[in-house]
C-alpha cells in the first residue's frame, strides 16, 4: 500500500476563547474546513472520472473517491461528528455498548440532510443534529464528496482498539484479580526465549506509555501467566481463562493477512465466547459494565474485512511509525518548537538532496546529457532477514576454555581445516588434511560473541528480532548468583564449497557452536 503526504492540519487550540465549549466547536470546524480544502480536488474527478494508467500500461477511466478513514477512536468521532462514548458506525445506545448484538447502521444521507441546514435558523439546525445524534458542525468535509459514506468508511484499528485498548483493559483486570505480586513474579520466572520479551520488572507497573510492540509481547505470554493461577475466594477459573483465550484468539485472527469464510467464522466465535463468559469479571467486582466503545468496535471487524480487505490495509501502526520517525528526525534536525512548518522544509531538503545525489551518480557513470525523463530510483530491497551482532566481542577465550566451558572440543582442528582450505582452495581432500595437520596457529585465544540476533522487517516497517542464538557458559553475577549455561543448537548452511572439497570440510561444522 502506497502512502503519500498531502498536507498538515493546523493544531491551533484557540486559547483566546475562554468558553471551553466554543473552543471545542471552533477546533472541530477548523478541522473540517481544512479537510474540505484538501479533498476538494477529488470532487469533480470522483463524479465524472479521470483517465489513469494502471500497472499493466492500460489507460482506464477511474473515479478517485474518499473510500475509508484510518484513525483511532477520538479521530473517528471527530470525522463522523459523533459524540464521545458513541459508536461511529451504528446507532447502538450508550448504555448497550457491552451487548453482543447488532444495531442499525448510521445513515449517511440522514446526516447530510441535517448538515444542509446550518445556513437556516440556528435552532432548527441544532435540533436536526440532536435528532440524528450528531454534533452541530458547519458543513463537514464529507458532505459533498461523491460516492462517500462516512459511517461505512470508518475502519477498525488494531493498534488503538485491540493492542492499546482491549488488551490493555484485559491486562489491567488480570492484575487486579490475581494481584501485581503474583503476576510480576511469574514474569520474572520465565525462561529466556527469542520469541518472547523478558519483563524482568513485571507488567503490573507498565500501564502507561506502552507501545503497541510491547503490548504484542505481553499478549504472547499472557495466557501462560494465568492459566493455572487460582482465583481468590476459591472460584473456578475456567470462565476467566476462556475470556483471555477468546480475546487473544480475536487479536491474532483479526491480524491475518488472508481471510476465508472459515477464519471469519472463527473471528465471530471468539467474540461470542468472550461475551458468553464475561460475567465472571462482574462477579469478581472488576467491572460493573462493558459499555466501552473499543469493546463494541469488535462487532464491526468482520463487516469491515468483507468490505475493505484485511486489517493490515488500514492499521494505524504504519502511519504512526511514519509520524514518529519523521517528527523525531525533523525535531532533532531543526530543534524548533514550530515543528510542522520545519518538518515540511526538512522533508523538501531531503528530497532535493536525494535528487542531486542521484544526478551526480548518473553523471559519474559517463552520461553527458541530462535524461529527458528523470525518476527517483527505487530504494534498495531490504533483506528478509539480517544478522545483528554486538560491535565488540565479550572477551578473548583460550582454546582449552573453549573445550571445557563452551563444549567446542574440535574447535582447533576445525580452525586448521578452515585455514588450509582458505589458503589452498583447489587442493584435494587428502592434501587438505595433510596441510591442516601441518598448520601452525600462532595464537591461543579467540574473541567470543555470546549471542547472535536475526532481525527482519515487520508489518509496521521497523526491524523486529525474529530469532536468536546463545552460547554462554555458567557464570556468577555481581550478587553471587549462579547464572546457568545456555547453548542453543544451530544448523549452519554453508554452500560456498562444492564437490569433494565440501565433503572433506563438512566435519568442520559438526561440532560448531555459536561462539
Instruction: Please determine, for residue 482, whether its predicted confidence score (pLDDT) is greater than 90.
Output: no
With beta carbons less than 8 A apart as the criterion, state whether 297 and 71 touch: no
Better pLDDT: 411 or 382: 411
CB atoms within 10 A of CB 236: 10
Tell how far CA 46 is from the center of its chain: 32
pTM of the model: 0.69
> For the packed helices 167-178 and 180-188, what is the interaxial angle rounded to 10 degrees?
110
What are the pLDDT digits (tens) for 224-236? 999 888 887 788 8
Q: Which helix (H) or strand (E) holds 357?
A: helix 339-364
275-281 contact pairs (CB < 8 A, 24+) = 275/100, 276/242, 277/239, 277/240, 277/242, 277/243, 277/246, 278/98, 278/243, 279/239, 280/235, 280/239, 280/240, 280/243, 281/173, 281/240, 281/243
State the pLDDT at residue 395: 76
| Mean pLDDT within 317-326 | 64
pLDDT band at 149 (very low <50, low <70, confident <90, very high): very high
| Mean pLDDT within 471-478 | 84
What are the pLDDT digits (tens) for 38-65? 999 999 999 999 998 887 888 999 999 9
Better pLDDT: 145 or 479: 145
State the pLDDT at residue 300: 96
Instruction: Please determine, for residue 83, whether its predicted confidence score (pLDDT) is greater than 80.
Output: yes
Instruction: Please determine, for residue 377, whether its predicted confidence score (pLDDT) is greater than 90.
Output: no
Rank 118-127, 175-184, 358-367 by mean pLDDT and report only the highest: 175-184
| Mean pLDDT within 17-24 | 87
State the pLDDT at residue 510: 35
Mean pLDDT lowest among 40-44, 78-82, 356-360: 356-360
Strand, helix or coil at 463? Answer: strand
Q: Can you read off the three cell numbers belonging to residue 386?
A: 539480517
User: Around 232, how many Cα atoms within 13 Å sit in the side-chain half-sphere?
Assistant: 12
Tell how far CA 425 is from the center of its chain: 47
State the pLDDT at residue 3: 64
Pairing between β-strand 445-448 and β-strand 451-457 as defined by DSSP bridges: unpaired
C-alpha closest to that of 73 among 169, 165, 175: 165
pLDDT band at 515 (very low <50, low <70, confident <90, very high): very low
Instruction: Please determine, for residue 339, whether its predicted confidence score (pLDDT) is greater than 70.
Output: no
State the pLDDT at residue 262: 94
| Mean pLDDT within 402-410 | 85
Better pLDDT: 512 or 288: 288
Mean pLDDT lowest among 116-120, 339-343, 453-457: 339-343
Amino acid at each position: 500500500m502506497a502512502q503519500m503526504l498531502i498536507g498538515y492540519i493546523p493544531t491551533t487550540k484557540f486559547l483566546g476563547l475562554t468558553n471551553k465549549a466554543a473552543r471545542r466547536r471552533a477546533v472541530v470546524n477548523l478541522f473540517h474546513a481544512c479537510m474540505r480544502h484538501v479533498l476538494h480536488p477529488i470532487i469533480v474527478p470522483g463524479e465524472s472520472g479521470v483517465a489513469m494508467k494502471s500497472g499493466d500500461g492500460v489507460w482506464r477511466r477511474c473515479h478517485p473517491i474518499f473510500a475509508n478513514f484510518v484513525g483511532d477512536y477520538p479521530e473517528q468521532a471527530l470525522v463522523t461528528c459523533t459524540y464521545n462514548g458513541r459508536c461511529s458506525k451504528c446507532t447502538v445506545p450508550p448504555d448497550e455498548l457491552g451487548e453482543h448484538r447488532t444495531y442499525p447502521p448510521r445513515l449517511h444521507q440522514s446526516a447530510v440532510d441535517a448538515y444542509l441546514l446550518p445556513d437556516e435558523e440556528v435552532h432548527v439546525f441544532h435540533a436536526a443534529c440532536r435528532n440524528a445524534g450528531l454534533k452541530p458542525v458547519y458543513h463537514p468535509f464529507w458532505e459533498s464528496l461523491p460516492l462517500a459514506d462516512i459511517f461505512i468508511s470508518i475502519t477498525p484499528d488494531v493498534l488503538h482498539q485491540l493492542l492499546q485498548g482491549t488488551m490493555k483493559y484485559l491486562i489491567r483486570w488480570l492484575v487486579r484479580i490475581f494481584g501485581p505480586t503474583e503476576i510480576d513474579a511469574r514474569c520474572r520466572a520465565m525462561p529466556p526465549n527469542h520469541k518472547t520479551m523478558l519483563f524482568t520488572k513485571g507488567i503490573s507497573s507498565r500501564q502507561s506509555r506502552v507501545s503497541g510492540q510491547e503490548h504484542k509481547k505481553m499478549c504472547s505470554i499472557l495466557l501462560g501467566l494465568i492459566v493455572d493461577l487460582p482465583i481468590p475466594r476459591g472460584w473456578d477459573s475456567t470462565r476467566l481463562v476462556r475470556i483471555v483465550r477468546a480475546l487473544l484468539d480475536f487479536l491474532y485472527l483479526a491480524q491475518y493477512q488472508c481471510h476465508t469464510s472459515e477464519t471469519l467464522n472463527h473471528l465471530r466465535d471468539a467474540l461470542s465466547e468472550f461475551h458468553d463468559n464475561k460475567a465472571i469479571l462482574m462477579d469478581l467486582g472488576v467491572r460493573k459494565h462493558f459499555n466501552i466503545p473499543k469493546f463494541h468496535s469488535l462487532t464491526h471487524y468482520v463487516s469491515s474485512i468483507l468490505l475493505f480487505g484485511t486489517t493490515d490495509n488500514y492499521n494505524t501502526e504504519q502511519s504512526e511509525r511514519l509520524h514518529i520517525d519523521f517528527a523525531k528526525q525533523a525535531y532533532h534536525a531543526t530543534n524548533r518548537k514550530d515543528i510542522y512548518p520545519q518538518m515540511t522544509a526538512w522533508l523538501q531538503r531531503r528530497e532535493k538532496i536525494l535528487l542531486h545525489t542521484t544526478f551526480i551518480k548518473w553523471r559519474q557513470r559517463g552520461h553527458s546529457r541530462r535524461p529527458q525523463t528523470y525518476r527517483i530510483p527505487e530504494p534498495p530491497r531490504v533483506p528478509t532477514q539480517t544478522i545483528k551482532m554486538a560491535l565488540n566481542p565479550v572477551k578473548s577465550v583460550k582454546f582449552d576454555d573453549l573445550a571445557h566451558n563452551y563444549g567446542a572440543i574440535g574447535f582447533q582442528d576445525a580452525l586448521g581445516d578452515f585455514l588450509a582450505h582458505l589458503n589452498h582452495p583447489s587442493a584435494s581432500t587428502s592434501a587438505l588434511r595433510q596441510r591442516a595437520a601441518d598448520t601452525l596457529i600462532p595464537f591461543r585465544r579467540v574473541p567470543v560473541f555470546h549471542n547472535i540476533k536475526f532481525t527482519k522487517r515487520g508489518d509496521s516497517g521497523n526491524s523486529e528480532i525474529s530469532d536468536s542464538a546463545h552460547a554462554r557458559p555458567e557464570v556468577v553475577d555481581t550478587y553471587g548468583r549462579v547464572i546457568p549455561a545456555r547453548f542453543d543448537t544451530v544448523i549452519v548452511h554453508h554452500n560456498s564449497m562444492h564437490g569433494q572439497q565440501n565433503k572433506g570440510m563438512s566435519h568442520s561444522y559438526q561440532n560448531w557452536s555459536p561462539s
